[in-house]
């Protein structure tokens, strides 16, 4: 099991955002986490990546307990993530976004950066190459010198995914990766996700879009912090509890 949560719970004051959640993602899967607004999907991501600390429960990554680790440590362990909003460094160019994101591999220290040693320069050159490779992989290499803020919305999100790939992730957490995209941008992104999967990277994503769901091996449905259903996208769509969560109870 690549990612596992055991009894994961988060209370914000009196509100329980995530309640005793048991979640399993195995290697090579694409899993979708869905649910109505406020179901606690993004909170799960923040708990896994250490942005928030759980009230109770555990997060295991590759069998190792990572509960309560700092976000930068979690990145180091091999979890890349994107955000629903503010997903990139807006004042950097596309290439600079990737260069800044390649902080961990290869890694350099304060003094070698200050003195500008040959080994430091070599590492920075490798980072440039790696950054360009990732941009080429997601198909953004043609706009590498544009300011990130000038990209159309959809490609900004793709850049967010590219940025997350820079930490050499085993697991990628994508928070609404195609929300608000145009049709072409969605196809563009889905292609990218397929390519990422073919690299053997596991993906856990939050999404509402059905086309994205069909890409997934498994769908997990949350409502008010509880897991209410799990299965293939077709199974989940038939599940009465899911229908009720999204559309309400049918009145006679």
Partner 1 sequence: MGGLIGLIVLLFLLPMIIQQQTYYLHVFIIVLIYIIVVSSLRTVALSGQLSVGHAAFMGVGAYFSGVITRELAISPWLAIPLGGLASMLVAVLIGYPFTRVRAIYFSMISLFGGIIIVDLIMVAQKWTGAAGLANIPLLSPINIPGIGNITFLGQKLPYYYCTLILTLVCLFILYRLEHSRVGINWKAIAQSHMVASSVGINEAYYRVLALAVGCFFAGLAGAWYAHYTLVLGTSTFGFLPSIYLVMYMLVGGQKRFAGPIIGTTILVMVPELVRSLKESAPLVLGAIMVIVVFLMPQGIVGLFDQIRVRYRKSNKRKVTESVAGN
Site for partner 1 in 22-51 (CB under 8 A): 49, 51
Rounded to 10 degrees, the C-alpha dihedral 18/19/25/31 comes to: -50
Residue with token string 């591999």: 105
Examine residue 194 and tell whether it contacts partner 1 (CB under 8 A). no
Examine residue 126 and tell whether it contacts partner 1 (CB under 8 A). no
* Burial class of residue 164, CB neighbours in 10 A (0-12, 13-18, 19+): buried
The residue among 12 and 232 lying less far from partner 1, judged by its C-beta, is 12
Residue with token string 């503010």: 86
Q: Which string of DSSP letters, residue by residue, matches 182-221?
A: -HHHHHHHHHHHHHHHHTT-EEEEE---HHHHHT-SEEEE
Q: How many residues bind partner 1 (CB under 8 A)?
A: 46
Examine residue 206 and tell whether it contacts partner 1 (CB under 8 A). no
Examine residue 155 and tell whether it contacts partner 1 (CB under 8 A). yes
Examine residue 3 and tell whether it contacts partner 1 (CB under 8 A). no
Helix (H, G, I), strand (E, B) or coil at 27: coil
Residue with token string 């990628």: 172
Find the shortest distance in angstroms from Cβ 76 to partner 1.
Answer: 5
Examine residue 72 and tell whether it contacts partner 1 (CB under 8 A). yes
Find the shortest distance in angstroms from Cβ 100 to partner 1.
Answer: 4
Member of 7, 68, 70, 133 binding partner 1 (CB under 8 A): 70
**DSSP assigned state of 83:** -
Stretch that binds partner 1, among 26-34, 142-150, 198-206, 219-227 (CB under 8 A): 142-150
Contact 107, 143 (CB under 8 A): no
Find the shortest distance in angstroms from Cβ 102 to partner 1.
Answer: 8
**Cα(248)–Cα(171) distance, integer angstroms:** 34
Q: Where does this chain bind partner 1 (CB under 8 A)?
A: 49, 51, 70-72, 75-76, 80-81, 83, 86-92, 96, 99-104, 108, 110, 113-114, 116, 120, 124, 139-140, 142-143, 146, 150-152, 155, 163-164, 166-167, 184, 188
């Amino acid at each position: 099991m690549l990612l596992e949560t055991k009894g994961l719970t988060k209370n914000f004051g009196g509100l329980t955002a995530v309640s005793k959640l048991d979640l399993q993602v195995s290697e090579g899967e694409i899993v979708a986490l869905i649910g109505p607004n406020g179901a606690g999907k993004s909170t799960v991501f923040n708990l896994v990546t250490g942005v928030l600390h759980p009230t109770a429960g555990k997060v295991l990554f590759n069998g190792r307990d990572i509960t309560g680790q700092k976000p930068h440590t979690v990145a180091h362990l091999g979890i890349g993530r994107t955000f629903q909003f503010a997903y990139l460094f807006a004042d950097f160019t596309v290439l600079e976004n990737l260069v800044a994101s390649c902080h961990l591999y290869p890694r350099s220290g304060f003094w070698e950066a200050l003195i500008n040693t040959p080994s430091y320069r070599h590492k920075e050159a490798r980072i440039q190459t790696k950054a360009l490779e990732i941009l080429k992989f997601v198909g953004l290499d043609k706009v590498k010198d544009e300011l990130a803020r000038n990209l159309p919305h959809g490609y900004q999100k793709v850049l967010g995914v590219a940025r997350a790939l820079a930490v050499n992730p085993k697991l990628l957490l994508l928070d609404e990766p195609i929300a608000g995209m145009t049709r072409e941008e969605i196809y563009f992104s889905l292609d990218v996700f397929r390519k990422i999967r073919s690299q053997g990277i596991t993906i856990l994503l939050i999404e509402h879009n059905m086309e994205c769901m069909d890409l997934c091996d498994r769908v997990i449905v949350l409502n008010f912090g509880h897991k209410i259903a799990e299965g293939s996208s077709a199974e989940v769509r038939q599940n009465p509890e899911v229908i009720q969560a999204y559309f309400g109870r049918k009145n006679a």
